[in-house]
Structures are given as C-alpha cells and as structure tokens.
Amino acid sequence: MELRYGCNPHQKPASIYMKDGAELPFKILGGSPGYINFCDALNSWQLVKELKASTGLPAAASFKHVSPAGAAVAVEMSDDLKKASFVEDITLSPIATAYARARGADRMSSFGDWAALSDVCDEATALIIKREVSDGVIAPGYTPEALKILQEKRGGKYNIIEIDPNYVPAEQETRDIFGITLQQGRNNATPDESWLNNIATANKDLPEGAKRDMLIALITLKYTQSNSVVYAYEGQIIGVGAGQQSRVHCTRLAGMKADNWFLRQHPRVLGLTFKAGTKRADMNNAIDSFLEEDLSPAELAAWEANFDVVPARMTKEEKRAWLDQQTGVSIGSDAFFPFRDNIDRASRSGVKYLAQPGGSLRDDLVIEAANEYGMTMAFTGVRLFHH
C-alpha cells in the first residue's frame, strides 16, 4: 500500500507491506492513513488487545506520536468524571466507557489522537469520536451505525482501520536504522498477576482493584516510548511520563498529569460556565489555564475571554487540599527506580501501590522510602523498554 509520505512530507516514497508477500491484516474503511498513523494504530491495537486479554474488560487507548496519552478498561464512571470528560450527555456502552476514560486521561495531549478499541466500535463510541479532534481509529469491527457516523467525519476523510483480531505477527521483528537492519524477538512478555507476587515492602496489602490498575500500568508501559512511568487509578491511566532521559522526570511529568486529572474533577472546575459557542479545545485550554500557578498578562486576558463572568482563580492551597484527599493510585515503571526521589514525588499524587522491575543498587533505599509512606511495592523482575 502506497503512503503519501513517511514521518515528514519530504520523506518519499513511502509504503506499508508484509515482507512475506501476505495480505495486510487490516482493511481501510475510511480516509487514507499515513506512516505515523500506522505507527500509532499498530502499537495502540497491541495495547488494547493485551488489556482486554489481561482484565477481561473492553479496553481503549488514545495515542499521540507512538505513545499513549491515555488507556483504560470499562469501569463505570462517576457523574463528575463523565462531566470532566465531556460525555455526560451520552449513554455509554462498555467500549464507549473505556474510550471516554482513555480520552479523558489527558485531554490536552489527546487533541488529534489515534483511537484504539479492543471491541467492535458501536454508535455510542462513534458519537464520542465524532465530536473530538481525532486523526483515526482502529478496531476489530464497526456496527453499521458507528461506521456511518465515522465515515461522515471530516468530510469523509477520517481514517478508519478494521484490524483482523486473529492476526499473529512473526516471532522475530526487524527495523532499519541508517541503512542497517536490527533484529530482535518480539516482546511477548505479558504482565499478569504472577508479576505482582514479589512484594518487597513491609506493607503486603494489594487489593484486587490495585492489581488491576498495576496490570493496566504495566501493559501500557510496554507500548510507551522509554523511559516511561505511568499512574493508574480505577481502571485507567491518569498520567503518562514518556520518553524522558531521566526517570524522575518521567515520574514528575506523569504525576503532574495525574494531579491535573484529579483537579479537573474539583467542584470549582466542574462549575465553570463558559461563553456560549466556546469550542471543546478552548474549554480544555481554559481549564488548564485555570489550574496554572502563574499566567502572564496576555495569557490571563486570553483566559478571561472564555467567560461571561470571570471566575476567581484557584489558589495553590485549594489545589493542594484537594490533591491531599486522593489516595489509592498505582504507579508502574518500565525500569527500576534508581533513587528514592521517584517515591517522594509519587507520594504527592496519592500513590499507594507501585510495580517496577527492581534490580537497582539502591533498591534498599527505594524500599525504605516506600515503607515510610506505607506503600506496597512489587518487584516484577521484567524490564519493559519500548523504542
């Protein structure tokens, strides 16, 4: 299949094909997906397929630039979370719930996302996708109602891929860099509850909900550009720190996003009243600005323009008081935590459960830090780098 271009418009020619000459394991039902679209589609499909296999629940992901902005399974949403995710007016099916959670994990990063669904896309899910800025979707099938809605999106140019759910790739995968071919075995390590048996902390308590969230975190890490750290809560990812050179920067970035996710459900945020006709993207930007510590005069004026009656800004103390109420968050890391600073930062975002490979020379100091906070930390023994 010929593509318009590669990663950038000047990278031509570009194509996608099977090396053994077999048919591609998908169909294009709408649009004309490009090189980056396929990178997102094929990585995100693997993620949701594994989430469904691990949890038994419909799963969805929202991908941007080959890393998830959000991933989730179908756990019922509270009314406040539905409102914060802009889906309070839709009757949600299980797969729609999963996508609403995934898309709502980091709405700023999900702008122009690639959606992935483990189950057949139904009308409710298509209605969510229809009104969001999105580049495309991959799923094992589409109901007639859903397909009609999606094929009308963007004037018929919206990218729709139907993947063969039974497709199994070769055990060896190759990649060319600078004209040189690298080969490796596929990452077939599939996180399951046995990965959580080696608990290194004094606190051994690990409830079922935390196990589910830790597995969601670990599977998400498999398809997130390394270094990576993710925060998970109540069946979904709430913060992704991807592609950072320092692990503590992953932890800080993901923690900042997790804090933002919690703050978006604060009564003050849910009570914001925007001018009539304000677009979703502008609402998202305004909410993020509402939660920012400092704005320049120009930024403040742009923010105030979204409201008929400008609300009082949230104070640092208000936000901290709200975040201090949050607990039960799980965190996963694709490689070991080398210093306790990761644990200290995680504690500020309600983290109670941790999953990481272990194996650092400073494991004892990291365990000591987790014990100070009363956390439960499992050593999986498996690194999950993804490049």
Tens of pLDDT along 205-227? 999 999 999 999 999 999 999 99
Mean pLDDT (whole number) for 217-246? 96
The pLDDT assigned to 36 comes to 96
For this structure, is 266 an active site residue? no
Question: What is the per-residue pLDDT across 50-92, written as a single tens digit (0 to 9) for each?
Answer: 999 999 999 999 999 999 999 999 999 999 999 999 999 999 9
Domain boundary among 310, 332, 367: 310
Burial of 93 (0-12, 13-18, 19+ CB in 10 A): middle
From the list 37, 43, 227, 342, the catalytic residue is 227
Question: Residue 310 has what pLDDT?
Answer: 92
Kindly state the tokens that stand for 240: 């992704």
Q: How far is CA 154 from CA 78, 118, 282, in A?
A: 31, 24, 19
pLDDT score for 292: 86
Q: Which domain holds residue 306?
A: 273-310
Pairwise CA distance, residues 311 & 298, whole Å: 17
pLDDT at 82: 96
Tokens standing for residue 52: 């469904």
- Condensed to tens digits (0 to 9), the pLDDT of residues 16-46 reads 999 888 999 999 999 999 999 999 999 999 9
CA distance 86 to 132: 10
- 10 has catalytic annotation: no
Task: Summarize the confidence of residues 249-272 as an average pLDDT.
Answer: 96
Average pLDDT, the chain: 95
Q: Could you tell me which residues come within 8 angstroms of residue 284 by beta carbon, excluding any fewer than 6 positions away? A: 107, 108, 111
Question: Does any domain span residue 20?
Answer: no
259 and 277 together in one domain: no
Confidence of residue 1 (pLDDT cuts 50, 70, 90): very high
Asked if 219 and 97 sit in the same domain, the reply is no
Whole-number Å distance between alpha carbons of 41 and 27: 12
Catalytic residue among 64, 257, 266, 352: 64
Token pair in block for residue 330: 């799980």
Domain identity same for 33 and 154:
yes
E strands, the chain, where?
2-3, 14-15, 26-30, 59-64, 67-73, 113-117, 134-139, 159-163, 172-177, 180-185, 228-233, 236-242, 329-333, 351-356, 376-379
Specify if 8 maps to a domain: no
pLDDT number for residue 52: 97
**79/155 same-domain check:** yes
Per-residue pLDDT, averaged over 133-144, amounts to: 97
Q: What is the pTM of this model?
A: 0.95
Ramachandran assignment for 253, one of left (phi > 0), alpha (psi -120 to 50 degrees), beta (any other): alpha
Q: Does residue 1 sit within a domain?
A: no
Pairing relationship of beta strands 159-163 and 26-30 according to DSSP bridges: antiparallel
pLDDT value at 115 more than 90? yes
Q: Which long-range contacts (CB under 8 A, 24 or more apart) does 368-375 make?
A: 368/340, 369/340, 369/343, 369/344, 370/200, 370/201, 370/343, 371/201, 371/202, 371/203, 373/343, 373/347, 374/203, 375/201, 375/203, 375/343, 375/347, 375/351
Q: Is residue 292 part of a domain?
A: yes
Q: pLDDT tens digits for 180-189?
A: 999 999 999 9
User: How many Å apart are CA 99 and CA 97, to the nearest integer?
Assistant: 5
Provide the 3-class DSSP secondary structure of residue 382: coil
pLDDT digits (tens, 9 = 90+) for 287-340: 998 998 788 999 999 999 999 899 998 999 999 999 999 999 999 999 999 999
Helix (H), strand (E) at residue 55? helix 35-55
Which residue among the candidates 10, 19, 204, 387 is catalytic per the annotation?
387
4-13, 279-288, 330-339: the lowest-pLDDT one: 279-288
Q: How confident is the model at residue 169 (pLDDT cuts 50, 70, 90)?
A: very high
Average of pLDDT values for 332-358? 96
73 and 235 in contact (C-beta within 8 Å)?
yes
What is the pLDDT averaged over residues 278-283? 90
Q: Residue 159: is it exposed, middle or buried by C-beta count within 10 angstroms (0-12/13-18/19+)?
A: buried
Domain identity same for 148 and 291: no
119 part of a folded domain: yes
Residues 253 and 345 in one domain: yes
- The reply to whether 123 and 227 lie within a common domain is no
pLDDT at 116: 98
227 catalytically annotated: yes
295 and 203 in a single domain? The answer is no
Q: What percent of the chain has pLDDT over 90?
A: 93
Nearest to 218 by CA among 331, 86, 306, 313: 331
Q: How many domains does the chain have?
A: 3
- Number of Cβ within a 10 Å radius of residue 345: 20
Q: Looking at the predicted structure, is the pLDDT value of residue 275 above 90?
A: yes
- Residue 92 located in a structural domain: yes
Local structure of 193: helix, strand or coil = helix
